[in-house]
Amino acid sequence: MATLNFNANEVEPSTGFDPIPAGKYQAVITDSEMKPTKSGNGQYLQLEFEVIEGEYKNRKLWARLNLENANPDAVRIARADLSAICRAINVPEPRDSIELHNLPLTITVRCKKNQEDEMTNEIKGYAPRVSLAGAVAAKPAAPAPQAPNAQPPWARGK
């Protein structure tokens, strides 16, 4: 038994969550944790993603990357997904999963049925963030170095 000091009339009740539609979403990783596999012979990196734009803003999705597993295919897939995430957020050599947090990227979400025959979401792709104009958001390119006393192109020929 636990003592509670709570009034349900002061809090909106939870309504549960239906899966979001399949598609591409702008998101950030908000949490990460290494967890043991159910069999106990490996570990997976659980990543929590939060949608940051659009109708489904603030919705959460999860991905599990089997980084240590007896199945070499599971490890290969997990490492490829982690590589895609790192490249999408421009963190090529993270030393800790917290370095992946709060950096926007595009996730591709699909819907699938789980073992209980219910529709759930699954993240099936990771890419650099796409701006509203559709161009990939990237760092601006540095201007090309110019030789000393070089004239800019518009001043040449005068």
Q: What is the pLDDT of residues 9-66, one digit of tens each?
A: 998 888 777 899 999 999 999 999 999 999 888 999 999 999 999 999 999 999 999 9
pLDDT of residue 143: 42
* CATH value at residue 114: 2.40.50
Q: In which domain, by residue range, is 103 found?
A: 19-128
Number of structural domains the chain divides into: 1
In a domain, 83, yes or no: yes
| pTM flag (> 0.95) | no
SS3 state of residue 72? helix
Closest to 106 (Cα-Cα) out of 52, 67, 48, 55 = 52
In a domain, 134, yes or no: no
